[in-house]
Structure 1
């Protein structure tokens, strides 16, 4: 039984760029006005900053696991390590949906930006309307070309895509800092426009913060792309946690800066309630003119490119790892003969992303909102895996003492991470929650769960034909042993 391996080509600053660029994506540039509505600028900033802290707590568990298990698949592998193949399948199933949808969402965000900047160009050849969204053939072509370009980059190798990711992130950071500086020092803007700090429509400041806190898994999803690329690290996996923490810090700063950039231009309630296609774009153009708009478009484009590229890397690695672990058909683990990249998985993820725009952005938005549930589930599995690996004291290391390390502080943090993950799920799923998913997202979630159950029944006999030790070798690599009883 041969285990396929990926090439070690990624440098530390490229991995940092993958984490940061994926976490930022398009949301920080497109959604500030939407987020402020009913919440207020300070509610958004505090919600996102607290969310970053909770993500950092969860990231500590990722650091422990990446250090000891630097393999592709991330949460899929961790769920298998701590529980069994069924839980690994559940984790991988939700991750695959979330990652591919975010690839599609970033690609359609580029078309949305063009619709704002060049409406006469993008709004051509209307095909139909879905859930109130006009679908144009020109928009689909733009998405296809953009996804095709990044598909080519990824097939050529993670080294090339990592290098480009770092360049995109540097331009993004420069653009955000420049834009915020120009907006805050302009005589036509004022920090008084950020008052009141919380929306009067919110039941309380706490409710406003919780509304934004619930979307933290969506806002920061991308830092967890690091474990997906761990097998390709050309450096010590011990550095992974530092890279993730730096990415989360920069992401929180960028989100906060873009909220400030949007809120200082005019009374924030006017901007939030205007119902504009792109509130941030409107206020930047009004204050800074075409020059400011150019800076914003460049920064947004970089955010879209980094999100699209980062999640295409992650989606393909999860598909590759699941196929290597016999959950998906073998073809998803095929490697390019020259570049040693999982080309079939990359192309599959790209095709799904290209098909998505035909359903309209509103429908895609419902699915992505639902995928926040899957991301939270994956976070829980990771924290639970770290909890089972870490021991309170040396005498507790009954199994595989070389890998089950003593770390009472980190073990306690893993508990906090599990509680945080459950809290995110509660905010999304409990009726009456300030951040409860919409009906459409609940329906999409139910459909995905049913499809996952059907697909598992189809693959069950193949998956159960391997014992746990064989799967541990395929999923976790050389020198890894099963923990606990066989789960066949």
Structure 2
């Protein structure tokens, strides 16, 4: 049996928290507030995000327990293997790979969009063509490519550098949000009176809130980057759950602060009707001038950088784990001779993400919307894995010191599965507030068909790997062992 490649344990707890938080916040908190308020109103958005956060924490309970017992790269890919075998591991990994790389591409595209808004003459040069009503410029593609290459380079240089950068970016982003809130709050023309009405007049409050809850898998995707990096923790894996919960609650708070800040500037209904390319940037600049726009741009840039960094880390680790399990080419599990990073996975994620801007932002949005399905499927697999491993009997526990807690955790795992199914339903059932558009459904079908073809090609080779050997490659042990908690 070939020796299993392993990653160095270099990631500190506050870096992991920053990976989860920064990946979850991304560009949406600073670009989408006016779009979200058009759908749900200020209070509808805030309530929707906090309800979504609670549902994510239900799912995170299963993540925390599985990370504790199986601190290996691959995350949901490994959990699907533990509970349902190699075919389901492939399905989970296939959907997650697309989702993660698409989010990398979308963050790079968002950076180019921000430059386009602030310096339109810089970006709107060398027009190429139009896709779905979106003008594609060569300069826009170059900006996205440069930022991707830079972050790819930093990630290859080492996990320590990536983790440290992630934490610094998060701190700057949080500081910029609070400064922006303060500056808006002290303006005489701004205030809480502009926040009313709390919900859109053309829809019910419940429908408004549900429309935001439905995007929770997209809004909070990023906390699931934590298990992808579990093999590199330099601290006990039992701490992962607390870090995830803290990151989810912090993300919900930051989303809400940006909604409050945006809606305080001027009556939000008027902003929504004007339909600007970047509504948040437009009204902040009108109120606070170039300084306000600069602060918002710093927050947005940090959100984009944390998203880029976090998802390059997670996508490369997922590819590394799948390659180590012989599901995809072995080059993805090769480590850099100097920096000990899965550099082929990093290069692949960057190259694919560089191709995306050529198809226009609207086309990319279709794929990203579709990738929400993949993330939600991964959530379900994780909760099912925890459910299958938790024991209802008090004399058999999965990762618990107190026997009585195992049945409680099993119930929470069931609730996590139900939440995942609800999210899937909201995305796939016609008439749902979050029902995928026709373009996203076509992209989903195409990715499923491609996955089936790839699996058929690899199925024979995958089936021939002995179970103990596959256990070793994925989990680091020939037998699936449940680790017991050490005493604190």
Structures share fold, TM-score greater than 0.5: yes
Alignment deviations for residues 247-282 of structure 1 (CA, whole Å, 9 cap, x no partner): 111101110011111111111111122110101001
Aligned to 1:95: 96
What is the CA-CA distance between 1:188 and the residue it aligns to?
A: 1.0
What is the CA-CA distance between 1:7 and the residue it aligns to?
A: 0.7
Aligned to 1:472: 471
Aligned residues: 480
TM-score (norm 2): 0.96
Aligned to 1:486: none
Could you tell me which runs of 5 or more consecutive residues in structure 2 were left unpaired when the two chains were aligned. Answer: 483-488
* Contact 1:60/1:413 (8 A) holds in 2: yes
Aligned to 1:126: 127
In structure 1, what is the Cα distance between the partners aligned to 2:25 and 2:367?
Answer: 19
Aligned to 1:378: 378
Matched, 1:38 2:26: no
Could you tell me which runs of 5 or more consecutive residues in structure 1 were left unpaired when the two chains were aligned. Answer: 484-488
* Contact 1:74/1:318 (8 A) holds in 2: yes
In structure 2, what is the Cα distance between the partners aligned to 1:393 and 1:308?
Answer: 44
In structure 2, what is the Cα distance between the partners aligned to 1:389 and 1:183?
Answer: 50
Q: Secondary structure at the match of 1:134?
A: strand
In structure 2, what is the Cα distance between the partners aligned to 1:60 and 1:150?
Answer: 31
Measured on the aligned residues, the alpha-carbon RMSD in Å equals 1.6
Aligned to 1:205: 205
Aligned to 1:314: 314
* Contact 1:126/1:136 (8 A) holds in 2: yes
In structure 2, what is the Cα distance between the partners aligned to 1:24 and 1:431?
Answer: 28
Tell which deviates more after alignment, 385-394 or 346-355.
385-394
In structure 2, what is the Cα distance between the partners aligned to 1:192 and 1:467?
Answer: 66
TM-score (norm 1): 0.96
Alignment deviations for residues 335-365 of structure 1 (CA, whole Å, 9 cap, x no partner): 1111111101110010000000000000000
Q: After the TM superposition, which residues 335-374 of structure 1 pair with which residues of structure 2 at under 5 Å, given as runs?
A: 335-374=335-374
Q: Secondary structure at the match of 2:65?
A: helix
Aligned to 2:74: 73
What is the CA-CA distance between 1:38 and the residue it aligns to?
A: 3.0
Aligned to 2:236: 236
* Contact 1:18/1:310 (8 A) holds in 2: yes
* Contact 1:97/1:371 (8 A) holds in 2: yes
In structure 2, what is the Cα distance between the partners aligned to 1:480 and 1:364?
Answer: 42
Are residues 177 and 400 of structure 1, via their aligned partners in 2, closer, same or farther at CA, if it must alter by over 3 Å?
closer
Are residues 447 and 267 of structure 1, via their aligned partners in 2, closer, same or farther at CA, if it must alter by over 3 Å?
same
In structure 2, what is the Cα distance between the partners aligned to 1:480 and 1:353?
Answer: 37
Tell which deviates more after alignment, 90-99 or 383-392.
383-392
What is the CA-CA distance between 1:180 and the residue it aligns to?
A: 1.2
What is the CA-CA distance between 1:321 and the residue it aligns to?
A: 0.5
Alignment deviations for residues 91-110 of structure 1 (CA, whole Å, 9 cap, x no partner): 00000000000000000000
* Contact 1:47/1:210 (8 A) holds in 2: yes
Aligned to 2:485: none
* Contact 2:69/2:399 (8 A) holds in 1: no
